[in-house]
Structure 1
Amino acid sequence: MSVAEPRRIVLFRHAKADWPQVTDHERPLADRGRKDAAVAGRRLTDTGIPFDLALCSTAVRTRETWKLAVQEFPQRPKTVYEERIYEASPGELIALLNETADDVRNLVLIGHNPGVQGLADVLSGQADGDAGERMHRRGFPAAAFVVISFDGSWKSLEPGAATLLDYWAPSE
């Protein structure tokens, strides 16, 4: 009997947004954000993770971030635009991830702070190692992402059940 590979989640914060006279949900990316989103897409490709699914907030800045990042991918995963990601707490994001189909091994969630960083902290507990140290030193700036792995089903994902494997931010 073979042991199943761990599942992987990438928590990806949207790139730098502009502040025009629109609602928060409608804020577009700034010029720097567009550049950083493309760079983040190349870095996500460098991880070698074959994503099965992308869950993306419906906010304009997250949709634009994902559209630019995914252009760098050799194969594009199925993308679901999920309004529950916008302003979600770590607990609400875990509940959303618990709904993921069992055939999904690798998932990227494109969202917002403080929810994304909070989720990384909650899932990985006190993240040790280089990735955890860098994340705690730098925080979770726009266009940053972490790679987290866990064993078991999506329904079993809970606080402390995952391991932080990698951290990247635009100035890394």
Structure 2
Amino acid sequence: MSVAEPRRIVLFRHAKADWPQVNDHDRPLAERGRMDAAEAGRRLADTGIPFDLALCSTATRTRETWKLAVHELPHRPRTVYEERVYEASPGDLIAVLNETPDDARHLVLIGHNPGVHGLAEILSGDSEGDSAVRMNRRGFPTAAYAVLTFSGPWKSLEPGVGTLVDYWAPTD
């Protein structure tokens, strides 16, 4: 694969978490979160993106979200559980993405707000259709995802190089 071919990044926020008496990192999904995670997985499958790699926060709610979503995909990508995605800023997330091997063309990052939403906004130098309008109107609720494209090696990923091509969020 040439680095000139467009790459796709899906920025996926974990589904709705419960609030039991545990530390934040260990919060599990709520019942609604389990349903929304599976629905997000079905929507991701409908995109037809053949993910090569998934980078997932180590938090319980992100791991549970990914486990339910990936079950809906036709192909299970290699998954890396990355501690640096938990509570990461957009800049921290860019640093993690810059380390992605160039043989990975399509990547999904399962993380948290405000970092995931901020990253979607920062990377989007352009948008297609009404995806930016919908993302700005809805924000980035739990189980939402944004699909961006960019060209070049992962180490060249920086603010403004991406195009927001799709956005989805579950209905309330």
- Pick the TM interval, shorter chain: over 0.9
- Distance in 2 (alpha carbons) for counterparts of 1:24 and 1:146: 24
In structure 2, the partner of 1:116 is 116
Percent of residue pairs bearing the same amino acid type: 77
Name the aligned partner's letter for residue 86 of structure 2: Y
- Distance in 2 (alpha carbons) for counterparts of 1:34 and 1:101: 31
SS in 2 for 1:102: coil
Deviation at 1:27, TM superposition (A): 0.2
Query: Normalization by structure 1: what TM-score?
Result: 0.96
In structure 1, list runs of 5 or more residues that go unmatched. none
Deviation at 1:76, TM superposition (A): 0.1
Name the aligned partner's letter for residue 123 of structure 1: L
Name the aligned partner's letter for residue 12 of structure 1: F
SS in 1 for 2:41: helix
Larger CA deviation: 93-102 vs 126-135 = 126-135
Runs ≥4 residues deviating over 2 A: 2-5, 125-129
- Distance in 1 (alpha carbons) for counterparts of 2:95 and 2:82: 13
Matched, 1:22 2:22: yes
Name the aligned partner's letter for residue 76 of structure 1: R
Q: How large is the Cα RMSD of the aligned pairs?
A: 1.5
Larger CA deviation: 88-97 vs 122-131 = 122-131
Name the aligned partner's letter for residue 136 of structure 2: H
- Distance in 2 (alpha carbons) for counterparts of 1:138 and 1:128: 17
Name the aligned partner's letter for residue 14 of structure 1: H
SS in 1 for 2:130: helix
In structure 2, list runs of 5 or more residues that go unmatched. none
Deviation at 1:25, TM superposition (A): 0.2
Deviation at 1:126, TM superposition (A): 6.4
In structure 2, the partner of 1:64 is 64
SS in 2 for 1:72: coil
Deviation at 1:9, TM superposition (A): 0.1
Deviation at 1:74, TM superposition (A): 1.0
- Aligned length in residues: 171
Query: Normalization by structure 2: what TM-score?
Result: 0.96
Deviation at 1:171, TM superposition (A): 1.3
